[in-house]
Structure 1
Amino acid sequence: MGVIDGAMNLVFGGGRNVVSETMGVFRENAEAQAQREAQLQAAALGQFASEFQVERKSVWDRFIDGVNRIPRPALALGTLGLFVSAMVDPVWFAARMNGIALVPEPLWWLLGAIVSFYFGARHQVKSQEFQRSFATTIASTSNVVHNLGVLDALARDRDGGDDANPALNEWLRDER
C-alpha cells in the first residue's frame, strides 16, 4: 500500500497533476485558449465601442437634427404639390412659373450650391454611419467563424463521426 501511495503522490501529489502539467508543455490548454480568445475579442470590441461611441445630444442638438430632416421631404412634397397645382389651377400655376422665370441666374447658382452642400454633407454623414456598421460586422466575423466550427463539430458528433456511413463519407469526399 505504501508503494502505491508513493507512486500516486509522485504523479498526482502535492496538490498538483504532473501528467496535466507535462501535457501542457506539448499541447495547448483548450480552456485557457478559449479564455484568451474571449479576452482578445472583448478588448477589440471595447476599442471599437470607444472609437465609435455616440455622445448624448442636448435639446438644442436634437432640435437642429429635426430641422435638418425637413428639407428633403419638403423638396419632394413641394415638387408633388407643383404637379397637383398645375392640374388643379393651370392659370395660377403659370403665373407662379412666370415669377420663377424672373429669378436672376446668379441666384439659381447660389440655390444650387446650397442644396448641393446640404445633400453632400448628408451623404457624408450617412457614409460614415455605414462604415461604423461595417466595422461592427467585421469585428463579429471571427466569432461567427468559431461558432460555425463548433456547430460543424457537433454535427459530426451527432452523425457518429466518420465511421457512421463509409459510403456517404466517400461520396462527400468526392463532392469536395
Structure 2
Amino acid sequence: MGVIEKLFGFVFGGGSNVVRETVEVFRENAEAGAARGAQLQGQAMAQYGQEFAVLRMGWFDRFMDAINRLPRPMLALGTLGLFVSAMVNPLWFSERMQGIALVPEPLWWLLGVIVSFYFGARHQVKAQQFQREIVGTMVHVPQVLDNIAQIRELRADAVMIADTGEDARLSVSAVQPDDNPALEAWKRAAA
C-alpha cells in the first residue's frame, strides 16, 4: 500500500500534476485558452469602443459615415435585383450579362482587389470562378427562353387553348356529354 501511495503521490500529488503538465505540452488547456480568448476579445471591444467615443458633430463626418454604410446594402440589394430581373425580363438580363462577359480580365482583377480590400478576406480566385460561372450560365439562355415559350403556351387564358386541332377522336369526345351525377340529382329533385 505504501509503494502505490507513493507512486500516486509522485504522479498526481505534491501540488503538481505530472500527467496534466505533460499533456499541456502537447495540447492547450481549454479553460486557460478560453480565458485568454475572453481577455483578448474584451480588449478588442474596448479598442473599438474608444473609436466611437469621439463625437462627430460636423456635416462632413456625418456625410462620410453615411457613405461608408452604403456599399454593403447596395451590393446586396443589387444582387437581389439581378435575380428579380432575370425572372421578370430574361432577355434584358441576358443582354446585360453579355455586356459583362466583354469586360477585360484585368478590370475584373481590379474590381476583385477593390472588393477584397473593402470587405476583407475575399480572394481573386473566387472572382475569376464567378466570371467563368456567368459565362457557363449564359450558355443555357436559349434553352431557358425555349422553356419559357413552352410554359407560355400552356397558359389557360391563351387563345384557342382548347382547340383539338386535327384530332377527330378528340373533337368528337369533346362535344359528347359526360355523366354528371350532380346534374342528374338536380333534375330528379326538380321533377
Higher relative contact order (CA 8 A, sep 6+): 1
Give the TM interval when normalised to the shorter protein: 0.3 to 0.5
**Higher relative helix content:** 1
Bigger Rg, structure 1 or 2:
2
Q: TM-score, normalised by structure 1?
A: 0.38
Q: TM-score, normalised by structure 2?
A: 0.35
